[in-house]
Amino acid sequence: MKTGVFIFIGVLFQVLGFSQNQAKIEAYSMGGLDVQLMVMPLGVENPIKIGRISKEGLVNFDFPKELSKVSDEVKESESSKLWYTLFSLCNNGVEMVAEADNIFSLDTGSLSLWTTNNKYVGVIFAVSDADLVPWLEDPAYMEPILGSYFKLVYVAKPFQYTGTCISTLMLDEGDAEVSYTYHLNLKAGFNFIEYKIESIHESDPNVMASFPDKVTVLSVEGIPKCKWLGKYF
């Protein structure tokens, strides 16, 4: 196939929306190491490899098609049910998923950087703004900002949900309500989810940090187009 044809196909894919977003860690400083991207929702003893980091900091995702070595005990635990993974912050989270839909699922937790000789060297954050990272690390004391952060989840089967829930926080001056509005269309396997902070409850910083009080939760098609920021150990 001639070069001109390749260029035409590439342009056509971009026009039709088929282009693949390439994640890249900003100011990556581990280029001298062979680094893998891991998640550990099943514990440090059972890490799940989801990709590799290039010397230039490019994140090459390679999600396993299925999770092996997951015991029946883990699959049947309450923390591995869909309601817990997606709606545990909601007051009525356990009621938001019909029992028939409470499929095996996992919040994968931190995206961890590991060398091939099993040395834990850092984590990466997927955010719309670098100023969200301090709050994500310490929400009890740091201030949030308007913007988005992204989490990775695993679901055993496709799942769709649209709706809103409330999470009630008890404060010294009375209760505060945090609303979560969901627009989810998850495929079987690994999915990124965007948590978009729409509004912030301003608190007295001498008493407690401010917190988001209106959040929209959205499915992400493919890899998020955002900042990928590393923290190294």
pLDDT at 218: 98
pTM above 0.85, yes or no: yes
> What is the DSSP-derived secondary structure letter of residue 222?
S
pLDDT at 164: 97
Q: What letters, b where the CB count within 10 A reaches 16 and e where it falls short, cover 201-210?
A: eebeeeeeeb
Q: Show the DSSP H helices in 17-138 as ranges.
A: 72-75, 82-87, 133-137
pLDDT at 192: 98
At 8-22, the pLDDT tens digits run 333 333 333 333 578
pLDDT at 20: 53
Within the chain, which residues score under 70 in pLDDT? 1-20
pLDDT at 19: 38
Please identify which residue in the block is written with the tokens 């008890």: 170
